[in-house]
Amino acid sequence: MRILLYNPDNGVTRNFMPHLWMFLLQALTPAGHEVLLIDGNAQPMDESQIAEYVRDQNIGLVGIGAMTRMIAKAYRIADAIRATGVPVVMGGPHVTEMADEALGRDGGPRHADAVALGEADETWPLIVNDAAAGKLKETYAPVDVFGQERKPPLKPYPVIPWDKIDLHQFNLLPKVVYPMLSKVGEGWGTFRIIPVESGRGCPYGCEFCTVTGFFGDSIRFRTNESVVNELLLLKKRARSEKGQMAVFFIDDNFAINVKRTKSLLRDIIAAGAQVHWVAQISANLLRDEELVDLIAASGGKWVFIGMESIDPANLKDVNKGFNKPGEYAAVLERLAKRNVYAITSFIFGMDNDTTGVAERTLEQVRTWPPGLPIFGLLTPLPATPLYKRLELAGRLTRPKHWREFIPFAMAHTPLKMSIDEAHAEVKYGWAHAYSPEALAQAVDALGDQPLGYRINIFLARLCFRGIYFPAMNRMAWVKLIAQNRRTIFKLAKEAVLGGSRGQPRNPDLEHPYQEEVGPEVAGEVGA
Ligand code: B12
Ligand code: SF4
């Protein structure tokens, strides 16, 4: 049987990275079936195009996975595929909570023939076998012999054959420049950001988040060996195609067990498996100097920190009181000393937010080492404690907001400002953090750093606009480049004429593991 795994785009913002679930399920598919992958972010398709594709390719089963914000598109695509007579199975966080909606058991139309609830590592092979035998059931739940929910162990973990998979659609560099760039340095013909997980689960249970409910509050880890081997395979692939590869460790909190993270990073260094990487780590765990040394030495370039708010009252409200705004600056300095920078994520529209929250937040951000601030609105995702609290309080204005996805739009009334005011705050945050002046300031703030770092931060900021800003079409990019021409000219002039290359912020701390690091991360080029 030919199987298509499809991940929809949300039609507005783009992802820079493919989704792990597709590669994982592909690797877990029983022998004898062929699995094709389409990520709507990389290959946008409308309903008629996908139906035609399914017919032309003689597909016998389609698997669709989606977050809440992509679910409306996922349902439209599923409807079009089912109309061709091909069965659709859906999985992922949204349909796990809203299985009745997907199966048409809530009075609405049916969109899926079957739903995989929760983690599907162990149920996917059963689904494929049942589909091949024409005996697809409505729901598949990961349960043990006693009917109790079972979380798949990550030991052993399937080998994702990164050296062989067709990754054609996941190249971040434009096609026209492939041949030229593959000859530059070690080769830049391709640049891919690949998702890798080293563990699942999160004990923190923040009120707005689905992770603790979905993956559980105890953590399951892969073996260090299996993660290291995966990185080595990715490096091999990058070398063989004369390209570059960076890794996003998608664990919700990559350092949740600091001892284990240190041991993994040490093993990565010892095996020469360093790649440039990004990971999500909460600020409270970045107090540990040795951990931060190891992050830098193993190739860590960016850390995603869910700061959420600079107001402790807000953090307490959403059960994230372990975040201490008073230590944010020190944490970011600690990272920046090792030339590791942060993607700092903020949520506006929390219960203690009042107008001006964006500017108050930016006032703090401007005093920190330059990074990538991102801004969103508090969103009640189905089955979260937040959803239940707001529903009980009668504060949901669009209880089924996912049926009509609107980017940067609230689905409930904040307590101390209006919905429109909250929207204006998010717009203000993005507009002022990514204005040409703010970009120039970020580059200047790294004036003592090698040119590579400054170019890196500038490009990263430009790209973040592209990912998060709605509808960044070609014209919008041209305009953006024109607006930033002064900074571009300054960097280009320095690149051509040379000049002071600057020194790392703190040479003593730069590469404490220099000997083991090797040339890949000892250079100045960031991911
Ligand atoms: C990496 C990640 C991202 C990446 C992008 C996604 C990517 N390309 O991988 C980035 C950082 C860009 C991102 C952004 C956002 N994310 Co995000 N992200 C994640 C994260 C941390 C990991 C995803 C992952 O790979 N998990 C590991 C895999 C193995 O798990 P899985 O995807 O759930 O798949 C398993 C099962 O669900 C199931 N399954 C999944 N799909 C399918 C399909 C079929 C057919 C079957 C049978 C089974 C199946 O089987 C898999 C194996 O068990 C998750 C949290 C998490 N731990 O999952 C949040 C998460 C998915 N993100 C979330 C959110 C809300 C967002 C944002 C909206 C945040 C924001 N406000 O900006 C944005 C939206 C991005 C966009 N483009 O629209 C939520 C989604 C909740 C929901 N109900 O929708 C999550 C769950 C975190 C949370 N806070 O609750 N995200
Ligand atoms: S927001 Fe992060 S720390 Fe909080 S529960 Fe979700 S994954 Fe865990």
Closest to 97 in 3D by CA, of 387, 326, 476, 515: 387
**Axis crossing angle, helix 485-497 with helix 474-483, rounded to the nearest 10:** 70
Question: Do the strands 276-280 and 244-249 form a parallel or antiparallel pair, or are they unpaired?
Answer: parallel
Is residue 10 over pLDDT 90? no
Record the tokens describing residue 335, joined without a space. 């990272």
Residue nearest to atom 25 of ligand 1 (CA): 20
How would residue 466 be classed by pLDDT, with cut points 50, 70 and 90? Answer: low
Q: E strands, 393-442, where? A: none
Rounded to whole angstroms, the Cα distance separating 307 from 357 reads 14
Assess whether pLDDT exceeds 70 at residue 278. yes
* Pure H helices in 446-484: 451-468, 474-483
Provide the strand spans (E) within 152-190: none
Q: Identify the pLDDT of residue 182.
A: 65
In tens, the pLDDT along 20-48 reads 999 999 999 999 999 999 999 889 899 99
Least Cα distance to 152 among 111, 103, 102, 201 occurs for 201
Whole-model pTM: value is 0.92
CA 319 / ligand 2 centre spacing (Å): 10
> To test ligand 2's pocket by mutation, which of 209, 254, 280, 379 has the most ligand atoms within 8 angstroms of CB?
209
Residue 374, strand partner residues: 345
Closest ligand 1 atom, CA of 5?
A: 45
Two tokens, residue 456: 């890196």
pLDDT, position 428: 95
Q: Whose CA is nearest to atom 6 of ligand 2?
A: 209
pLDDT classification of 308: cutoffs 50, 70, 90: very high
Q: Whole-angstrom Cα distance, residue 133 to residue 126? A: 11
Phi-psi sector, 492: left (phi>0), alpha (psi -120 to 50), beta: alpha
Who wins on pLDDT, 63 or 481?
A: 63
Nearest alpha-carbon partner for 1 in 91, 90, 124, 131: 131
Q: What per-residue confidence (pLDDT) applies to 108? A: 97
Question: Residues near 416 by Cβ (< 8 Å), separated by ≥ 6?
Answer: 351, 352, 353, 354
CB environment 112-125: b (16+ within 10 A), e (fewer): bbbbbbbbbbbbbe
| Ligand number nearest to the C-alpha of 307 | 2
Cα 74 to its chain centre, rounded Å, is: 19
Give the tokens for residue 341.
């920078």
Angstrom distance (rounded) from CA 261 to CA 1: 40
Q: Cα-atom radius of gyration of the chain, to the nearest Å?
A: 23
Q: What is the mean pLDDT of residues 148-160?
A: 95
Backbone angles phi, psi at 4, to 5 degrees: -110, 130
Which atom in ligand 1 lies closest to the alpha carbon of residue 41? 77
Side chain identity at 23, as an amino acid letter? F
- The residues that bridge with 376 in the sheet, in sequence order, are 347
Any ligand 2 atom below 6 A from CB of 212: yes
Ligand 2 pocket mutation, candidates 202, 218, 347, 384, criterion most atoms within 8 A of CB: 202
Measured in angstroms, how far is the CA atom of residue 48 from the centroid of ligand 2?
A: 38
Residue 517: pLDDT band (50, 70, 90) is very low
CA of 210 to the centre of ligand 1 (A): 10
Alpha-carbon gap, residue 359 to 356, rounded angstroms:
5
Ligand 1 atom nearest residue 10's Cα: 78
User: Does 205 sit in the ligand 2 pocket, CB within 6 Å?
Assistant: yes
Q: Does the pLDDT value for residue 509 go beyond 60?
A: no
Q: Tell me what pLDDT residue 461 has.
A: 85
Q: Is the CB of 379 under 6 A from ligand 2?
A: no
